[in-house]
Amino acid sequence: MIYRNATSSDLKRCFEIRGKTQDNAFNESELAAIGVTEESWSRLIEDRTFTGNVASTNDIVVGFCFGDTKTGEILVLAVLKGHEGMGIGKSLLEKTSADLFSIGHNKLWLAASATPIVRAYGFYRSVGWHPTNTFDGNGDEILTKRKI
Ligand SMILES: CC(C)(COP(=O)(O)OP(=O)(O)OC[C@H]1O[C@@H](n2cnc3c(N)ncnc32)[C@H](O)[C@@H]1OP(=O)(O)O)[C@@H](O)C(=O)NCCC(=O)NCCS
């Protein structure tokens, strides 16, 4: 597996993957409805508001993670169905977290499903993120991670 920084030219594939995850899949129209489009994200990557990493095998991207350099939020993490359970999500999250810590954030946060049967629920706890028992407007739980 090759890991590298994401560029705006990865976005088409990232959006495709977001629609093909085992849980929590969002297709392009659902993302567009909340203002997330290739165009809007492209601008935010170009001006370095967003930073991210992709994982690829045989030149095909199978997972990605993006964070917000201004707020310290992990915005999205997704691994293509069929590639889960291989450490890709953990590596992408660690790399993107390291990028955000390296620019001065001491505490990162994200919103994730509060439903224990969803894989992400156990995943974030297993890789050292702390539930806060606070929730966003969608009912997702806020989890945090401090710089070590
Ligand atoms: C959640 C997700 C990113 C996890 O990615 P992944 O590549 O399958 O996870 P990894 O293989 O890196 O797992 C890392 C560790 O977490 C553990 N883990 C994963 N899911 C777990 C669960 N539900 N309960 C307990 N441990 C879990 C793994 O066993 C592994 O442990 P190890 O390091 O001791 O081997 C992936 O399932 C996904 O893309 N889901 C759909 C999209 C999504 O929900 N994204 C997050 C919310 S935006």
How far does residue 102's CA lie from ligand 1's centre (Å)?
Answer: 24
Percent residues over pLDDT 70 in the chain: 100
Give the H/E segment covering residue 71.
Answer: none
pLDDT band, residue 3 (cuts 50/70/90): very high
- Pairing status of strand 50-57 against strand 141-146: unpaired
Helix, strand, coil tally for the chain in percent (to 5): 35, 30, 35
Q: Is 52 exposed, middle or buried (0-12, 13-18, 19+ CB in 10 A)?
A: buried
Among protein residues, the one whose CA lies closest to atom 21 of ligand 1: 123
Q: Give the list of residues 6+ apart from residue 23 with CB closer than 8 angstroms, or none.
A: 113, 118, 119, 120
CA dist 53 and 126 (Å) reads 21
Q: Ligand 1, residue 18: give the atom nearest the CA.
A: 42
Confirm whether pTM is higher than 0.95.
yes
The pair of three-digit structure tokens given for residue 105, joined into one six-digit string: 């954030």
Please answer whether residues 147 and 109 qualify as being in contact, where contact means their C-beta atoms are separated by less than 8 angstroms.
Answer: no
- Bridge partners of 145, per DSSP, are 108
Dump pLDDT digits (tens) for 47-95: 999 999 999 999 999 999 999 999 999 999 999 999 999 999 999 999 9
- Which residue in 109, 2, 10 sits closest to 52, CA to CA? 10
CA dist 83 and 74 (Å) reads 21
CA dist 128 and 114 (Å) reads 16
Residues with CB under 6 A from ligand 1: 21-24, 76-79, 84-90, 112, 119-120, 122-123, 126-127
Ordered by where they begin, the domains of the chain are 2-106 (3.40.630.30)
How far does residue 88's CA lie from ligand 1's centre (Å)?
Answer: 8
